[in-house]
């Protein structure tokens, strides 16, 4: 990575402004998944070890309806971070203006402050120059460790870099190394696994990967559109009719690289309690039924293809894994990747649902890397330049 990182600057005695990604799920003021908070800890500890004057943290959370929206306040994150990092974390009820500035001024030497949701200001997502300038006044150096927002040009990740020297945090560096370097220089065999609901969301990813992978395994709802392109009856399954022609084109471009499920678990309704059975995909889906997972023969075939792989990228579940009756295929893929990691493969899990599935399977710690960025990881797989990464100072 040809970008400056926290290793290239000195933090002693400085006010360090860090853009973290604390966009975590919160229910009744309780954080239900602290993965993104834990992912930021190594960077924060690295900075604190150099005895900075202060550590000031910026993040967004959700999509607030208005400033002060209680459901999207970062307040519950401060005590959770304090417990993980082992020292007090102050919280300011604003990210700019008198309240934020007073909170920064009140910090003791080496103190940590979490500022309120940056998206309480409409100028955040518009990369408003004045808002960015106000944020930048809190610090002497800027560390961007929020890979999950790197595909967006916002005031708190791109705008600030116009005012302060911007360097990458350790998490950002790790994400770039695994998602860019691994793909550009993969050890072979190189296998990609793509799932999720819609093929339209991943057309560019498929096109980018076809020239690099040895095999591209496709599952999830997006596989249905490829089945429809083959002319198989799909019953009530999710199919993107407008993407069928594109699916046909991708199959032709794939020249034997694209591997689709051969069987599937179908259900009589989109519900945990629905009747279910396994079918051969080429026989078609009966009327009134829908595909909700890949079948056991597909799991075996995917396992055969993955065996001995040296590099594996996985983005998107194989079925509706949120319903336990239709999670078998997704968890099988997680298990197969864990096995290949033990054999020496580099296994990289894209953000979003596949990351959540890896966590739920209990196998997350057996993968080489699980990305914290959903949209950002997809765009990096497409080969796009991400604004948040571009804004970091070159070495």
Q: Single out the residue in 118, 145, 172 at which a domain terminates.
A: 172
Is 306 a domain residue?
yes
- Examine residue 88 and state whether it is found in any structural domain, yes or no: yes
Q: Are residues 158 and 233 in the same domain?
A: no
Pair 243, 295 in one domain: yes
54 & 12 share domain: yes
Last residue of a domain, one of 115, 150, 172: 172
**106 and 242 belong to one structural domain:** no
Question: Based on the domain organization, do 43 and 81 belong to the same domain?
Answer: yes
77 shares its domain with 207 = no
Active-site annotation holds for 198:
yes
Say yes or no to pLDDT of 390 above 90. Answer: yes
Could you tell me the CATH number of the domain that includes residue 109? 3.40.50.1260
pLDDT tens string 296-331: 999 999 999 999 999 999 999 999 999 999 999 999
The predicted-structure confidence for 37-90, as pLDDT tens digits, reads as follows: 999 999 999 999 999 999 999 999 999 988 988 899 999 999 999 999 999 999
What ranges make up the beta strands (E) of 246-390? 258-259, 263-267, 276-280, 290-294, 311-315, 346-349, 369-370
Q: Are residues 362 and 228 in the same domain?
A: yes
- Whether 335 sits among the annotated catalytic residues: the reply is no
Q: Which of 375, 383, 384, 393 is flagged as catalytic?
A: 375
Which residue range(s) make up the domain with 302? 186-381
Secondary structure of residue 12 in the 3-state scheme: coil
209 in any annotated domain: yes
* 180 assigned to some structural domain: no
Q: At CA 45, angle to CA 159 and CA 102, rounded to 5?
A: 55
36 is catalytic: yes
Domain count, the chain: 2
Do the domain assignments include residue 178?
A: no
Instruction: Summarize pLDDT for 90-131 with one digit per residue, the tens.
Output: 999 999 999 999 999 999 999 999 999 999 999 999 999 999
- Decide if 391 is inside a domain: no
pTM of the model: 0.88
Report helix angle 328-342 to 353-360, nearest 10. Answer: 80
Residue 393 lies in a domain: no
Residue 357 gets which letter from DSSP?
H
How far is 174 from 316, CA to CA, in rounded Å?
21
Residue among 352, 373, 374, 388 flagged as catalytic: 352
Structure tokens at 17: 């402004």
| Domain identity same for 269 and 151 | no
Which of these is catalytic: 3, 15, 36, 174?
36
Looking at the structure, do residues 134 and 19 belong to the same domain, yes or no? yes
User: Which one of the listed residues 137, 198, 335, 393 is annotated catalytic?
Assistant: 198
> How far from 122 is each of 108, 125, 206, CA to CA, in Å?
31, 6, 34
């Amino acid at each position: 990575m040809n970008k400056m990182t926290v290793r290239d600057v000195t933090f002693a005695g400085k006010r360090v402004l860090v853009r973290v990604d604390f966009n975590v799920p919160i229910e009744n003021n309780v954080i239900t998944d602290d993965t993104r908070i834990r992912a930021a800890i190594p960077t924060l500890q690295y900075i604190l070890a150099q005895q900075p004057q202060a550590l000031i943290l910026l993040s967004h959370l959700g999509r607030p309806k208005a400033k002060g929206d209680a459901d999207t306040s970062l307040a519950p994150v401060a005590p959770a971070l304090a417990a993980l990092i082992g020292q007090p974390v102050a919280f300011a009820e604003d990210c700019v203006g008198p309240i934020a500035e007073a909170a920064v001024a009140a910090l003791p030497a080496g103190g940590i402050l979490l500022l309120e949701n940056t998206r309480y200001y409409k100028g955040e997502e518009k990369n408003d120059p004045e808002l960015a300038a106000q944020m930048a006044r809190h610090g002497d150096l800027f560390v961007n460790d929020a890979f999950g927002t790197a595909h967006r040009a916002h005031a708190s990740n791109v705008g600030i870099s116009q005012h302060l020297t911007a360097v990458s945090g350790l998490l950002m560096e790790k994400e770039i190394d695994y998602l860019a370097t691994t793909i550009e220089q993969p050890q072979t065999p190189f296998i990609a696994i793509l799932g999720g609901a819609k093929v339209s969301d991943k057309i560019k990813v498929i096109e980018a990967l076809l020239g690099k992978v040895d095999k591209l395994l496709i599952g999830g709802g997006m596989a249905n559109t490829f089945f429809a392109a083959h002319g198989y009856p799909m019953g009530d399954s999710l199919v993107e009719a407008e993407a069928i022609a594109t699916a046909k084109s991708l199959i032709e471009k794939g020249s034997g690289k694209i591997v689709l499920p051969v069987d599937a678990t179908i259900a009589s309704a989109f519900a945990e309690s629905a009747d279910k059975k396994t079918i051969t995909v080429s026989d078609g889906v009966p009327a009134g039924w829908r595909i909700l997972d890949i079948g056991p023969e597909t799991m075996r075939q995917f396992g055969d293809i993955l065996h001995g792989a040296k590099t594996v990228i996985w983005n998107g579940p194989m079925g509706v894994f949120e319903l336990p009756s239709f999670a078998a295929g997704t968890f099988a893929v997680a298990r197969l990747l864990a096995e290949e990691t033990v054999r020496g493969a580099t296994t990289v899990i894209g953000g979003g649902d596949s990351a959540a599935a890896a966590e739920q399977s209990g196998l997350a710690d057996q993968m080489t890397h699980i990305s914290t960025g959903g949209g950002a990881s997809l765009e990096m797989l497409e080969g796009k330049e991400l604004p948040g990464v571009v804004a970091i100072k070159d070495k």
